[in-house]
Amino acid sequence: MVYSHSQLKTFDECQLRYRYKYLDKVPEPQVAESPALKFWSIIHASLELLYKKIQNSGQAPEKADLTSFFSVEMAKFRDQYNQLSEAPFPVQDFDDRIALWQQMIDRFYDQYAPFTATKVNGLEQHINFDLPNWAKFRGIIDRLDFQGDTAIIVDYKTDKAIAPLETFAESYQQQLTTYAIWVMQQYSHAVKKIEGKLIYLRFQKEITREITSEMLEQAIQKITEQISLIEKNLFDYNMGNKEAFQAVEGHQCRRCAYHVLCPLFKHKFKDDEVIVSEIGETTIKKLIDKFYILKKQEKEIEDQLQGIKEFLEEYVQSHLDEGWKAIYGDQAQLRVDYKNGYNAKPDQKDAVKQFLIEHNLLNLMSMTIKTNELTTVLESDPELLSQLSNLIEFQNKVIVGWAKEKKE
């Protein structure tokens, strides 16, 4: 089977989406292409045009040629979008985007003209190579440059922020390193060093990292492991295990086209049903909403109860001399208990536990430190009490508990 970086990424994000898309080959509905994605591809095409002209004629095109190519492609996209989409592309938004992206192309042109710093070897280069487990891998390199014996894999980014180092390591490095495996296989005779370069078009910034042989080994290992997992799941799936590819809910769901099939979402598309039960006549959807509202109220009530309890316990604590065993409202009374005894200081719980284990005392306390049991042990052994004195404290704890209606 042939794998690509985007297949592996899809599998990583949600195995079920991977199954729908690449195994069951469920067609994704025809919708107007996402503007962000389309703009990204038009920018790529404009830069490809720039370097293709240089490759073919040795001469860079005029900046105006590029911007006019860009504007024509954008206008074509807007017309297609307006045909497929329910609402037309907002005029102002479209003009703003054109202005922004044109500015980016302008700046790119000014920054790199006359485009002679590196030799461009490949543009939108389709790659294909074998992995140790016989699987095949394919991908597209935006641009492959050579500078002496260094191969530079260039990837254009239109992101709104520059990826921090960790993201680079987690995501882009994996992608660029995967492509580097192919470069190494193709050009091992001429290439001594490989670099991955991300060009952030919005910021006119480049991030370049060397792709070392260790990184290549790690990438091969990671891809091979991922593919082995996919193939294991595939085997289970073919043997009848419908749960072999698990749904993973996350940000990826927003742009997933399979809501109507996915067990996490498909109930949304079901017609409502009327039901009659001891709670009266209602519908499934209303019952679900009611359950949610009651659960929410339950949580709010729990929070309120906890707040009132803590407040009343502090109140009784500040009147310890009174020795109240109950406190009264107009309609109800609450029971008051006192727990006096030794307990571990909040930051010393592990140390006290360790001490008790070492002295064979923790069994006595059912593997948890209970104030009354610890107090009984310490009060009968002053030596032990002095050894633990830095780790424990004597607490006068008030507990406001069971409520009942006040008796007159």
Binding site for ligand SF4 (CB under 6 A): 14, 16-17, 247-249, 252-253, 256, 258-259, 262, 264-265
Nearer to ligand SF4, 186 or 252 (CB): 252
Fill in the DSSP letter of residue 168: I
Facing residues of 147 across strands?
150
Nearer to ligand SF4, 160 or 255 (CB): 255
Q: How far apart are CA 92 and CA 219, in angstroms?
A: 44
Closest CA to 47 of 148, 129, 190, 155: 155
Nearer to ligand SF4, 10 or 375 (CB): 10
Instruction: Provide, rounded to whole angstroms, the least separation between the CB of residue 12 and ligand SF4.
Output: 11
Instruction: Provide, rounded to whole angstroms, the least separation between the CB of residue 255 and ligand SF4.
Output: 8
Q: Positive or negative, the Cα torsion across 267, 272, 276, 280? A: positive
Instruction: Provide, rounded to whole angstroms, the least separation between the CB of residue 31 and ligand SF4.
Output: 15
Nearer to ligand SF4, 259 or 290 (CB): 259
337-to-275, 294, 316, 320, 332 alpha-carbon distances in Å: 48, 31, 10, 11, 17
Q: Tell me if residue 15 falls in helix, strand or coil.
A: helix
**Distance separating the N- and C-terminal Cα atoms of the chain:** 82
E strands in 193-328: 193-200, 205-211, 274-277, 280-283, 326-328
Nearer to ligand SF4, 254 or 407 (CB): 254
Alpha-carbon 68 to chain mean position = 38
Instruction: Provide, rounded to whole angstroms, the least separation between the CB of residue 286 and ligand SF4.
Output: 25
Closest CA to 230 of 79, 19, 13, 57: 19
Instruction: Provide, rounded to whole angstroms, the least separation between the CB of residue 26 and ligand SF4.
Output: 10
Do the beta carbons of residue 172 and residue 195 sit within 8 Å? Answer: no
Instruction: Provide, rounded to whole angstroms, the least separation between the CB of residue 247 and ligand SF4.
Output: 4
Do the beta carbons of residue 283 and residue 273 sit within 8 Å? Answer: yes
Nearer to ligand SF4, 254 or 325 (CB): 254
Nearer to ligand SF4, 248 or 364 (CB): 248
Instruction: Provide, rounded to whole angstroms, the least separation between the CB of residue 259 and ligand SF4.
Output: 5
